[in-house]
Structure 1
Amino acid sequence: MSDSNPGNRPLVEGPRDPEHDAGASYALEPSYVSALTDRLAASSGETHEVCSPIDGAPLAHVPQSSEEDVVEAFARARRAQERWARTPYAHRQRLLLRLHDLVLDRQDEIMDLIVLESGKARKHAFDEPLHIALTARYYGRTLSDHLSTERKPGVFPALTRIDINHVPKGVVGVISPWNYPFTMALCDGLAAIAAGNAVVSKPDAQTMLSALLAARLLDEAGFPSDLWQVVAGPGPEVGRSLIEKADYICFTGSTATGKLVAQGCAERLIGCSLELGGKNPMLILADADIERAAEGAVRAVYSNGGQLCVSIERMYVADAIYDRFVDRFVSRVQALSLGAGLSWDIDMGPLISQAQVDTTEAHVADAVAKGARVLTGGRARPDLAPYFFEPTILEGVTPEMTCFGNETFGPVVSLYRFHDEADAISRANEGEYGLNASIYSQDGPRARAVARQVKAGTVNINEAFGATFASLAAPMGGMRSSGTGRRQGREGILRYTETQSVATQRLARIAPMFGMSDEAYAKMMTRTLRGLKKLGRA
Structure 2
Amino acid sequence: MATDHAVPSTSAHRSVLPASLTSARIERLAARVAAAADAARVTTSAPYTGAPLADLPVSTPGDVEDAFARARIAQKAWAATSLSRRKKIMLRFHDLVLARQDEVLDLMQAESGKTRRDAFLEVTDTAITSRYYARSAARFLEPKRRRGAIPVLTHTTELRHPKGVVAIVSPWNYPLSMAAGDAIPALMAGNAVVQKPDTQTALTALWALDLMHEAGLPAGVWQMVVGRGSSIGGALMDNADYMMFTGSTASGRKIARDAGERLIGASLELGGKNAMIVLDDADIEKAADGAVAACFPSTGQLCVSVERLYVDEAVHDRFVAAFVARTKHLKLGASYDYGSDVGCLTNPSQLETVTAHVDDAVAKGATVLAGGRARPDLGPLFYEPTVLAGVTPDMTLCEHETFGPVVSVYPFRDVDEAIARANATPYGLNGSVWSRNGARGRAVAARLHAGTVNVNEAYAAAWGSIDAPMGGMGDSGLGRRHGADGILKYTEPQTVAHQRVQGFTPPARVSPETWAALLSTALKALKAAGVR
TM-score interval, normalised by the smaller of the two chains: over 0.9
The answer as to 2:307 corresponding to 1:313 is: yes
Q: 1:96-245 maps to which residues of 2 (within 5 A)?
A: 96-245=90-239
Q: Output one character per residue of 1:370-408: Cα deviation in whole Å (capped at 9) or x when no partner.
A: 111000110011111111111000000011110000000
Corresponding position of 2:33: 40
Q: CA deviation at 1:22?
A: 3.2
Aligned partner of residue 13 in structure 2, secondary structure: coil
Q: CA deviation at 1:527?
A: 1.1
Could you tell me whether the CA contact under 8 Å between 1:23 and 1:55 is conserved in 2? Answer: no
Corresponding position of 2:517: 523
Query: Whole-Å Cα distance in 2 between the matches of residues 238 and 128 of structure 1?
Result: 27
Aligned partner of residue 192 in structure 1, secondary structure: helix
The answer as to 2:76 corresponding to 1:82 is: yes
Query: Whole-Å Cα distance in 2 between the matches of residues 19 and 245 of structure 1?
Result: 47
2:88 aligned partner, one-letter code: R
Q: 1:454-465 maps to which residues of 2 (within 5 A)?
A: 454-465=448-459
2:477 aligned partner, one-letter code: G
Query: Whole-Å Cα distance in 2 between the matches of residues 495 and 533 of structure 1?
Result: 34
Query: Whole-Å Cα distance in 2 between the matches of residues 52 and 383 of structure 1?
Result: 16
**Aligned with 1:439 (options 412, 416, 433):** 433
Residue ranges of structure 2 left out of the alignment (5+ in a row): 1-8
Could you tell me whether the CA contact under 8 Å between 1:21 and 1:343 is conserved in 2? Answer: no
The answer as to 2:243 corresponding to 1:249 is: yes
How big is the alpha-carbon RMSD for the aligned residues of Structure 1 and Structure 2? Answer: 1.2
Q: CA deviation at 1:530?
A: 0.9
Aligned partner of residue 332 in structure 2, secondary structure: coil
Q: CA deviation at 1:23?
A: 4.9
Aligned partner of residue 225 in structure 1, secondary structure: coil
Q: CA deviation at 1:520?
A: 2.0
Q: Output one character per residue of 1:109-140: Cα deviation in whole Å (capped at 9) or x when no partner.
A: 11100000000011101011110000000011
Q: Output one character per residue of 1:156-190: Cα deviation in whole Å (capped at 9) or x when no partner.
A: 11111110011110000000000001111110111
Could you tell me whether the CA contact under 8 Å between 2:10 and 2:333 is conserved in 1? Answer: no
Query: Whole-Å Cα distance in 2 between the matches of residues 523 and 20 of structure 1?
Result: 86
Q: CA deviation at 1:20?
A: 6.7
Q: CA deviation at 1:53?
A: 0.2
TM-score by length of 2: 0.96
Query: Whole-Å Cα distance in 1 between the matches of residues 367 and 256 of structure 2?
Result: 39
1:397 aligned partner, one-letter code: V
Corresponding position of 1:511: 505
1:524 aligned partner, one-letter code: L
Could you tell me whether the CA contact under 8 Å between 1:440 and 1:462 is conserved in 2? Answer: yes
Q: How many residues align?
A: 521
Aligned partner of residue 180 in structure 1, secondary structure: coil
Q: 1:388-467 maps to which residues of 2 (within 5 A)?
A: 388-467=382-461
After TM superposition, the structure 1 stretch with the greater mean CA deviation from structure 2, 165-174 or 39-48, is: 39-48
Change (3 A) 1:218 1:257: same
Q: Output one character per residue of 1:233-280: Cα deviation in whole Å (capped at 9) or x when no partner.
A: 111121221111000000000000100111110110000000000000
The answer as to 2:476 corresponding to 1:476 is: no
Q: Output one character per residue of 1:414-467: Cα deviation in whole Å (capped at 9) or x when no partner.
A: 000011110100000001000000011110111111111000000011110101
Residue ranges of structure 1 left out of the alignment (5+ in a row): 1-17
Query: Whole-Å Cα distance in 2 between the matches of residues 96 and 65 of structure 1?
Result: 28
Aligned partner of residue 381 in structure 1, secondary structure: coil
Query: Whole-Å Cα distance in 2 between the matches of residues 255 and 122 of structure 1?
Result: 29
Q: CA deviation at 1:225?
A: 2.1
Change (3 A) 1:216 1:426: same
Query: Whole-Å Cα distance in 2 between the matches of residues 34 and 340 of structure 1?
Result: 24
Corresponding position of 2:23: 30
Q: Output one character per residue of 1:84-109: Cα deviation in whole Å (capped at 9) or x when no partner.
A: 11111111111111111111001111
Q: CA deviation at 1:518?
A: 2.0
Could you tell me whether the CA contact under 8 Å between 2:10 and 2:332 is conserved in 1? Answer: no
Could you tell me whether the CA contact under 8 Å between 2:46 and 2:112 is conserved in 1? Answer: yes
Aligned partner of residue 226 in structure 1, secondary structure: coil
2:41 aligned partner, one-letter code: T
1:40 aligned partner, one-letter code: V
Q: CA deviation at 1:56?
A: 0.6
Q: Output one character per residue of 1:210-235: Cα deviation in whole Å (capped at 9) or x when no partner.
A: 01001001101111121001001111
Corresponding position of 1:50: 44
1:516 aligned partner, one-letter code: V
The answer as to 2:529 corresponding to 1:535 is: yes
Query: Whole-Å Cα distance in 1 between the matches of residues 152 and 483 of structure 2?
Result: 33
Q: 1:267-306 maps to which residues of 2 (within 5 A)?
A: 267-306=261-300
Query: Whole-Å Cα distance in 2 between the matches of residues 389 and 19 of structure 1?
Result: 14
Q: CA deviation at 1:481?
A: 0.4
Could you tell me whether the CA contact under 8 Å between 1:21 and 1:342 is conserved in 2? Answer: no
Could you tell me whether the CA contact under 8 Å between 1:119 and 1:341 is conserved in 2? Answer: no
Query: Whole-Å Cα distance in 2 between the matches of residues 99 and 271 of structure 1?
Result: 28
Which stretches of structure 1, 4 residues or longer, exceed 4 Å deviation after superposition? Answer: 18-21
Could you tell me whether the CA contact under 8 Å between 1:280 and 1:310 is conserved in 2? Answer: yes
TM-score by length of 1: 0.95
Query: Whole-Å Cα distance in 1 between the matches of residues 202 and 138 of structure 2?
Result: 32
Could you tell me whether the CA contact under 8 Å between 1:129 and 1:183 is conserved in 2? Answer: yes
Query: Whole-Å Cα distance in 1 between the matches of residues 297 and 41 of structure 2?
Result: 31
Query: Whole-Å Cα distance in 2 between the matches of residues 427 and 204 of structure 1?
Result: 34
Query: Whole-Å Cα distance in 1 between the matches of residues 39 and 524 of structure 2?
Result: 72
Query: Whole-Å Cα distance in 1 between the matches of residues 30 and 285 of structure 2?
Result: 46
After TM superposition, the structure 1 stretch with the greater mean CA deviation from structure 2, 266-275 or 21-30, is: 21-30
The answer as to 2:361 corresponding to 1:367 is: yes
